[in-house]
Amino acid sequence: MPIVVNLDVMMAKRKMSLNRLSEEVGITLSNLSILKQGKARAVRFSTLELLCKALDCQPGDILEYRPDS
C-alpha cells in the first residue's frame, strides 16, 4: 500500500505509550492499534487533528506516501 502510517515512529519520538495516546485522543486502544499497524481503511480529519495535537506534529509526520515500484 502506498500510504505508510508512521504513528509508531512519532510515538517513540515523543516517548508516548499507546495507552496514554488513547487517553489523550479519546480513541480506543484497538482502533489506535489498527491505525498504527497501517490496517485502517480511512482516517477522519478530526482524528488526525487530535493525533497531531497530542503528538505535537504535522499530518505529514504521521502519514507518508510511498509509490509502489
* Count of domains forming the chain: 1
Tell me the C-alpha distance between 66 and 45, whole Å.
20
Domain that residue 37 falls in: 3-65
pLDDT at 60: 96
CATH number, domain containing residue 25: 1.10.260.40
Quick check: helix, strand or coil at residue 65? Answer: strand
| pLDDT above 90 (res 69) | no
Closest by Cα among 38, 43, 18, 44 to 29: 18
Tell me the C-alpha distance between 21 and 28, whole Å.
10
pLDDT tens for 4-41 read: 999 999 999 999 999 999 999 999 999 999 999 999 99
